[in-house]
Structure 1
Amino acid sequence: MDLATLMFVSYRAMDERVVRVIRDAGYDVTPAQARIAQRIADDGSRLTDLAQSAQVTKQTASLLVAALEREGIVERVPDPEDGRARLIRLTERGRAASVAAMEVVMGVEKEWAEHLGPELTRDLREALVRLREVTDPYA
């Protein structure tokens, strides 16, 4: 299996666990909605920035944000720097979902670290951070 597929398999395993826990906690979200929500900055994000970061069209990001808004996870508020623009930010419900998701992520990372051992875990993190430098234009 090539490296990208191996990374994707691990990513998907984590992604599925996070979404399952979030759904079990009463949040009706899809993996695509969760991926958009995780990119929202603490002080809010513009839709165009979310779309770019998630590498989806603005229309797709808009649909995902609208679904999150209906679920009470995000809200749109005026951008204090530009009265014509709106920011998308997490609601209290959304922040609670984010905390729950992060607990799952940390738990999975701990399982992986126990499986790989501290040295290989450190090397893997370092390698992925370095790889991100050449593959992620938004890093």
Structure 2
Amino acid sequence: MTRDRQRIATEFSFALNAAANRMVRLHKPFLEPLGLTFSQYLVALELMNGSPLTVGELCARLDMETGTLTPLLKRLEAAGVVTRTRDASDERRVLIDLTPHGRALEGALRGIPDRIRTACQLTPEAIEELRRTLDGLARPVAAP
């Protein structure tokens, strides 16, 4: 790789990292009063879209490893946001569901994306284009 291409790739990586960090910081004032971290927020939103889910399903949907997700789920359970129960039909699987307290957070959590869009000062079209670009980076099409 030439020096210029290496510099551009490095700057690209730094820009992506800075944007990701900014997203976490933008969410923080909305999540702290609810007692949630950004990662916990993502789990709760996914469960609000349909639960219960297995740990494996959550890992796949959130692109997280089990070793990352399990401690996060334990903290959410301790906070009374989710339950973790063995699947009666297959005890190797753990089902994750929202508690009544977790469901009560739905209104507040579902309102956060609009506040973030406002803070980013991007048009809906620009946000959609950026989302498609980021999805392409996160899940590239497999080579034939």
Normalized against structure 1, the TM-score is what?
Answer: 0.67
Larger Rg: 2
1:99 has 2:99 as partner: no
Which structure 2 residue ranges, 5 or more long, are not aligned? 1-9
| Alignment equivalent of 2:129, drawn from 111, 123, 126 | 123
Distance in 2 (alpha carbons) for counterparts of 1:48 and 1:119: 33
Deviation for aligned residue 1:73:
0.5
Structure 1's unaligned 5+ residue stretches are none
1:21 is the counterpart of 2:27: no
- The one-letter code sitting in structure 2 at the alignment partner of 1:34 is Y
Which residue type is aligned with residue 116 of structure 2? V
- % identical aligned pairs: 22
| CA distance in 1 between partners of 2:116 and 2:51 (Å) | 27
**What is the number of equivalent residue pairs in this alignment?**
129
Q: Measure how far apart 1:74 and its partner are.
A: 0.4
Give runs of ≥4 in structure 1 deviating > 6 Å.
Answer: none
Q: Equivalents in 2 of 1:64, 1:16: separation in Å? A: 19
Q: 1:86 to 1:121 in 2, by over 3 A?
A: closer
Q: Which residue of the other structure, out of 51, 54, 68, is the alignment partner of 1:60?
A: 68
Aligned residue in 2 for 1:33: 40
Offset at 1:98?
4.0
Give distance in 1, aligned partners of 2:67 and 2:45: 18
C-alpha distance 16-118 of structure 1, shift in aligned 2 (>3 A)? closer
RMSD: 3.0
